[in-house]
């Protein structure tokens, strides 16, 4: 599939913004997904292409965090990775078996759930930490499989969902959980992307264009993130996620 210059510019710009968002706060899917659908890709193909486009940036972050990984309340990083891989594979399989019409109806609700998580995530994490709740290894692994399924199927705001779930099930600090979150995101997304590639669900011209922008945006986002106040960054991300969710609801139900 070939694209007009204005479409390529849209994809490149979306990649820049998505990469910058992921480098600072997360939520890049909220930009890359609507851009890919705007150039004419079906919802499932756009979702698969978005996952493939944003994976290299996540891999780079995971590599940077590799020496800071720690077990989660007795659950080894290897066990969590296996749970993430398993869940990611199941989620990708569900996406591949979902009819396009069904996905178009479901995705606005997934976006809404992700938007709510982005909005209340930090506050919820604080409340859960103060509650001092914890759970056993089985509960943590079961939750990780479910998070992997969500990540493989859609993945919007799954990083924040992981932090919220881990905060509920363990007593680890948010700072300590960040490296683990980054690596588990890669584990869930990598197996999903592999399945998408094998089954031909990725539109490579579009995905590579977004990927190029995301790599540059990831570097720029790290520089910008050091200068802008956190409240401003959060406000920008929330504004984008709310707008994206509204657009997809309008497309599905108008």
pTM above 0.85, yes or no: no
Q: Dmax over Cα atoms in the chain, in whole Å?
A: 54
pLDDT of residue 97: 93
Assign residue 135 a region (left: φ > 0; alpha: ψ between -120 and 50; beta: otherwise): beta
The answer to whether the beta carbons of residues 33 and 153 sit under 8 Å apart is no
Residues 41-77 as b or e (16 or more Cβ within 10 Å = b) = bebbbbbbbbbbbbbebbbbbbeebeeebeebeebeb
pLDDT of residue 181: 84
Tens digit of each residue's pLDDT, the chain (254 residues)? 688 999 999 999 999 988 887 776 677 888 999 999 999 999 999 999 999 999 988 888 788 778 888 888 889 999 999 999 999 999 999 999 999 889 889 888 988 887 887 777 666 656 655 655 556 788 889 999 999 999 999 877 787 778 778 877 777 766 677 788 888 988 999 999 999 999 999 999 999 999 999 988 887 776 665 576 767 766 777 788 888 889 889 988 87
What span, in angstroms and rounded, lies between the C-alpha atoms of 237 and 21?
A: 7
φ, ψ of residue 72 to 5 degrees: the values are: -110, 100
Q: What is the dihedral of CA 104, 109, 113, 114, to 10 degrees?
A: 20
- Burial-class residue 97 by CB neighbours within 10 Å (0-12, 13-18, 19+): exposed
pLDDT of residue 240: 80
The answer to whether the beta carbons of residues 111 and 245 sit under 8 Å apart is yes
């Amino acid at each position: 599939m070939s694209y007009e210059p204005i479409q390529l510019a849209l994809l490149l710009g979306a990649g820049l913004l998505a990469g910058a968002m992921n480098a600072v706060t997360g939520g890049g899917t909220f930009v890359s997904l609507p851009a890919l659908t705007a150039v004419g890709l079906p919802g499932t193909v756009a979702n698969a292409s978005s996952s493939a486009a944003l994976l290299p940036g996540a891999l780079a972050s995971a590599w940077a965090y590799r020496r800071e990984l720690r077990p989660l309340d007795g659950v080894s990083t290897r066990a969590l990775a296996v749970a993430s891989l398993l869940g990611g594979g199941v989620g990708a399989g569900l996406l591949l078996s979902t009819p396009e019409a069904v996905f178009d109806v479901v995705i606005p609700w997934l976006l809404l759930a992700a938007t709510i998580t982005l909005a209340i995530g930090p506050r919820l994490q604080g409340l859960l930490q103060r509650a001092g709740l914890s759970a056993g290894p089985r509960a943590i692994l079961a939750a990780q499989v479910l998070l992997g399924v969500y990540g493989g199927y859609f993945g919007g705001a799954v990083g924040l969902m992981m932090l919220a779930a881990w905060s509920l099930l363990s007593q680890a600090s948010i700072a300590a959980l960040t490296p683990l979150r980054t690596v588990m995101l890669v584990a869930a997304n990598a197996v999903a992307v592999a399945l998408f590639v094998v089954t031909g669900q990725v539109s490579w011209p579009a995905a590579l264009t977004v990927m190029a922008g995301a790599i540059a945006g990831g570097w720029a986002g790290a520089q910008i993130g050091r200068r802008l106040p956190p409240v401003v960054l959060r406000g920008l991300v929330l504004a984008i996620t709310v707008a994206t969710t509204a657009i997809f609801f309008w497309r599905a139900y108008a």
